[in-house]
């Protein structure tokens, strides 16, 4: 067996008061208290729970300086993975989104600003409209006259109103704790937006938040029944996930508690396996049948979304999804987070959301069907500037997952799949779940959305527009810096200076 070096080192300095709190807080077994704090470095994952809770700030966590012989091809990352697989014979697992140094296109896109001839708008003095509506729009509106009054001759497709263009992305009950779900749902209600409950069904405690919840129909059909479908504001058919395109999901049996068993409608302690494909969807025509079956089950009162991974032919896929009758297309880029995914899939399959969004919006506009569906994008949205750039590239709204979890306390240690989350987020252990107060969590999330919304208003004002609708798809307000001509062409934006 290969002895793997510890990835991190825990340092306890001389100011330690030997209270033992760090050992009690560590859920990975990296610290023990034996009259003094003893570190087992190989178990440290850099979740920083010990650092955050130490009353005298006596703890630091650093990267282990252990060095392999320098080799441009065989980097320590590759050697470490080979040693690990030689020991275990298993596939490598990880969590959250891709952390490899691929280009982050958001950081190479800059916003325009008004100066003299088209003055900017002061958001403190003039109203700024962030309200967004999700759902399909008809090609034309038919009017009728009744008793001298004009009215709509046909009802409009169902629309969902958002007070901010930011929603909470899909995270299932099981992948995250009930307290995390409660915080997300409460924050969505307070902020006038939506949270996506993911593929694990909806806990009974969250039905009261139904007007602000996207319920999901995934390949495993977990927790799926008529009451569940009608409980939410939007129903989403999950075809793919950005962190693991083309493969299914797996919630280990040890995470399937009695409450999760009841919610997902599966036996307690049994593995929850989501197949890679829906076994009733093998064509756009099959997808169309499911979309309209769901619309029938919900009496055509709720928009139906289809979530797909950002892959190479995403434009054609999105076109087919819209023509199949979807009211919303949700696109998840390859940096999208996950509770668990094979490392090689997460880091090598899919494309960035910036590219996917640009080509999908352009394709739908060229085909004259952009109005039939809204676009929500996810997978690496880190701040309000990313949101504004996504809107200008053509999105109607964005979904945040990792950013929301960070607001709840996540330190992105990428060990969600272990179920040992020290912050009470990605775990089902009662002693850990209790660390996350859903009321405080909801406040943190509400603060985040409020702060981002204020910044979005400022950026809109700088652009000289007072409504988000005026910016949607307006790529003329974007410029690329440090991008080659081909990438600029795909994004549909000009280089700086032009």
197 carries a ligand binding annotation? no
114 carries a ligand binding annotation? no
50 carries a ligand binding annotation? yes
Taking the alpha carbons at both ends of the chain, their separation in whole angstroms is 59
Closest C-alpha to 447, from 232, 209, 183 = 183
Closest C-alpha to 332, from 312, 307, 313, 349 = 307
98 carries a ligand binding annotation? no
413 carries a ligand binding annotation? no
The pairs formed by 273-281 with CB atoms below 8 angstroms and a separation of 24 or more are 273/220, 273/248, 273/249, 274/199, 274/218, 274/219, 274/220, 274/222, 274/248, 274/249, 274/250, 275/219, 275/220, 275/248, 276/219, 276/246, 276/247, 276/248, 277/219, 278/219, 278/237, 278/239, 279/219, 281/239
In total, the chain counts a number of residues equal to 498
Instruction: Calculate the CA 9 to chain-centre distance.
Output: 31
Residue 210, helix vs strand vs coil: helix
Distance CA 174, CA 185 (A): 16
Could you give the count of Cα atoms lying within 13 Å of 485 in the half-sphere of its Cβ? Answer: 0
16 carries a ligand binding annotation? yes
Assign residue 63 a region (left: φ > 0; alpha: ψ between -120 and 50; beta: otherwise).
Answer: beta
217 carries a ligand binding annotation? no
Read off the tokens for 10: 């825990």
44 carries a ligand binding annotation? yes
Residue 378, helix vs strand vs coil: strand
Q: Are 47 and 422 in contact (CB under 8 A)?
A: yes
Read off the tokens for 360: 């999908």
DSSP states of 320-365 as a string?
HHHHTT-SEEEEE-TT---SSEEHHHHHHSS--HHHHHHHHHHHHH
Distance CA 112, CA 110 (A): 7
DSSP states of 74-114 as a string?
S-HHHHHHHHHHHHH-S--EE-SS--S----GGGGEEE---
Assign residue 167 a region (left: φ > 0; alpha: ψ between -120 and 50; beta: otherwise).
Answer: beta
DSSP letter at 373?
A: -
CB atoms within 10 A of CB 113: 13
Residue stretches of the annotated binding site: 16, 19, 22, 26, 44, 47, 50, 54
Residue stretches of the annotated binding site for [4Fe-4S] cluster: 16, 19, 22, 26, 44, 47, 50, 54
């Amino acid at each position: 067996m290969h002895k793997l070096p510890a990835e991190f080192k825990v340092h306890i300095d001389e100011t330690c008061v030997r209270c033992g709190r760090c050992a009690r807080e560590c859920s990975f077994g990296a610290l023990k208290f034996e009259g003094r704090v003893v570190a087992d470095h190989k178990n440290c994952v850099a979740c920083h729970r010990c650092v955050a809770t130490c009353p005298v700030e006596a703890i630091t966590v650093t990267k282990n300086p252990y060095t392999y012989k320098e080799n441009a091809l065989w980097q320590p990352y590759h050697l470490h993975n080979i040693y690990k697989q030689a020991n275990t014979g298993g596939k490598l697992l990880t969590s959250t989104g891709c952390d490899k140094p691929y280009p982050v296109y958001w950081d190479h896109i800059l916003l325009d600003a008004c100066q003299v001839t088209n003055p900017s708008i002061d958001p403190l003095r003039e109203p700024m409209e962030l309200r967004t509506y999700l759902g399909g729009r008809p090609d034309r509106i038919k009017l009728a006259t009744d008793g001298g009054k004009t009215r709509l001759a046909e009802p409009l497709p169902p629309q969902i109103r958002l007070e901010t263009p930011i929603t909470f992305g899909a995270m299932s009950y099981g992948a995250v704790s009930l307290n995390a779900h409660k915080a997300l749902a409460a924050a969505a209600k307070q902020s006038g937006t939506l949270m996506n409950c993911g593929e694990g069904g909806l806990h009974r405690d969250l039905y009261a938040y139904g007007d602000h919840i996207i319920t999901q129909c995934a390949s495993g059909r977990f927790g799926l029944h008529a009451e569940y479908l009608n409980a939410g504001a939007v129903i989403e058919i999950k075809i793919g996930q950005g962190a693991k395109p083309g493969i299914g999901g797996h919630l280990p049996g040890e995470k399937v508690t009695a409450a999760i068993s009841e919610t997902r409608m599966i036996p307690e302690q049994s593995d929850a396996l989501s197949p890679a494909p829906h076994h009733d969807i093998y064509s756009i025509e099959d997808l169309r049948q499911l979309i309209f079956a769901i619309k029938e089950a919900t009496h055509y009162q709720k928009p139906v979304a289809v979530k797909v991974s950002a892959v190479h032919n995403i434009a054609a896929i999105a076109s087919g999804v819209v023509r199949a009758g979807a009211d919303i297309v949700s696109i998840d880029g390859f940096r999208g987070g996950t509770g668990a995914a094979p490392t090689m899939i997460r880091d090598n399959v899919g494309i960035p959301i910036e590219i996917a969004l640009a080509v999908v919006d352009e394709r739908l506009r060229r085909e004259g069907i952009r109005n039939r569906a809204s676009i929500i994008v996810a997978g690496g949205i880190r701040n309000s500037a990313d949101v504004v750039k996504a809107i200008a590239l053509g999105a109607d709204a964005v979904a945040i997952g990792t950013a929301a979890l960070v607001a709840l306390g996540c330190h992105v240690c990428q060990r969600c799949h272990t179920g040992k989350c020290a912050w009470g987020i990605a775990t089902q252990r009662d002693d850990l779940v209790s660390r996350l107060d859903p009321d405080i969590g909801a406040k943190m999330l509400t603060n985040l959305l409020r702060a981002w919304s204020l910044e979005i208003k400022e950026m809109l004002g700088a652009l000289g527009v007072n409504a988000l609708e005026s910016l949607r798809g307006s790529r003329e307000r974007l410029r690329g810096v440090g991008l080659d001509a081909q990438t600029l062409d795909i994004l549909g934006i000009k280089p700086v200076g032009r």
